Structure 1
């Protein structure tokens, strides 16, 4: 059979290319016209697969959220479950930081997100937490994860020692932080997560 004159579209291919555009150009850089061009089709062809840009963003978000690991709750150890879930959530967001602001508005009816919250909530209630407390704990985990994903404390410092020397005696080594930002941000997240779980 002859090859089709236009590339075949599939949900996976549309999501993959959309996410690549977001990773490269940011949320505002994604448009249906640009997506169609990168897929090698006319924009009108996309609307047979995706109704709106928001629907597309929710599909992309759901694909990212599918990688979040809540299997740790199955052991009955809610602490281990929280830690494993939070780590995998941060890792998923760190891989695609440009979509984090879209995800930060909450589950928004996304099935992947609601399924994982349901597992977390159920495990916490089964462990003896009230429904209100379980909701607050889940929210606390989200605050930690999204706070870590939305900003880098360490890379916000200047690498020039003169910016701190003599003016801030306790920040005399702050200029070194940008060079170890990735490691320090990860360790800071782990410290906050451990303190949160211990506090509970």
Structure 2
């Protein structure tokens, strides 16, 4: 069975671009609010007040729709202007922008963890990030690994924030309410004295917010890259 033709390789001329854009925007609204599992061609058609068949004149199916959504998200913000050579600062800004996109579109993290999308906005943003990494090293392989490590860090860091948001949505409990609900058990663990380092974490350690934790990890990552390049 021949592989499917990528949407980016098909002749998309002659189709009303606004209609395709409206479909993608509607699908993105649904996925942002309800998750990617709630997305279907029928659901998007209902959102737009049209028949499902009319969507298939522009988009082959859900997989293609998601690829278009990913590319649209990557194109939401303009690419940064060329920097002054401070590759650490530029990579930090790229990481922060990626984090903002993932938090604004929670479904994106799962898609970004899969095989890379190949839309024009995705490729343009990847090319820009590689151009910044190239300032750190002339080795194309190492530059590619820098980008991979950066993306992996952002995805891993944001996964905790997304998990907390999902837990709040499904349980109706804030993080503080959850902590209160397990407080008695944690107190028993502390009183047992069996886990001294866990006790220190509970009793002595501060409780930095998500952004502070993200920035600490990002600083550590970039410092580490400086040491190995």
TM > 0.5 between the two?
Answer: yes
The offset of 1:79, in angstroms, is: 1.1
Give runs of aligned pairs for residues 1-200 of structure 1, distance below 5 A. 10-67=19-76, 70-71=79-80, 73-152=82-161, 155=164, 158-160=178-180, 161-168=183-190, 169-172=199-202, 184-200=209-225
Farther-moved stretch of structure 1 (186-195 vs 163-172): 163-172
Q: TM-score, normalised by structure 2?
A: 0.72
Query: Post-superposition, which runs of at least 4 consecutive aligned residues in structure 1 deviate over 4 A?
Result: 153-157
What is the DSSP-based 3-state SS (H/G/I as helix, E as strand, rest coil) of the residue aligned with 2:179?
coil
- After superposition, the C-alpha distances for 1:105-154 in whole angstroms (9 at most, x for unaligned) are 14232322221121222232244341111111100110111112222399
Hey, what does 2:11 align to over in structure 1?
none
What is the DSSP-based 3-state SS (H/G/I as helix, E as strand, rest coil) of the residue aligned with 1:105?
coil
Farther-moved stretch of structure 1 (82-91 vs 102-111): 102-111
Provide the aligned C-alpha RMSD in A: 2.6
The offset of 1:198, in angstroms, is: 1.4
Q: TM-score, normalised by structure 1?
A: 0.81
2: CA distance between counterparts of 1:138 and 1:15?
28
What is the DSSP-based 3-state SS (H/G/I as helix, E as strand, rest coil) of the residue aligned with 1:21?
helix
The offset of 1:96, in angstroms, is: 1.0
What is the DSSP-based 3-state SS (H/G/I as helix, E as strand, rest coil) of the residue aligned with 1:128?
coil
Segments of 5+ residues of structure 2 without an aligned counterpart are 1-17, 168-174, 191-198
In the superposition, relative to structure 1, how do residues 185 and 119 fare at CA in structure 2: closer, same or farther (>3 Å)? same
1: CA distance between counterparts of 2:65 and 2:85?
36
What is the DSSP-based 3-state SS (H/G/I as helix, E as strand, rest coil) of the residue aligned with 1:12?
helix
Q: Say how many residue pairs are matched.
A: 186
2: CA distance between counterparts of 1:65 and 1:102?
12
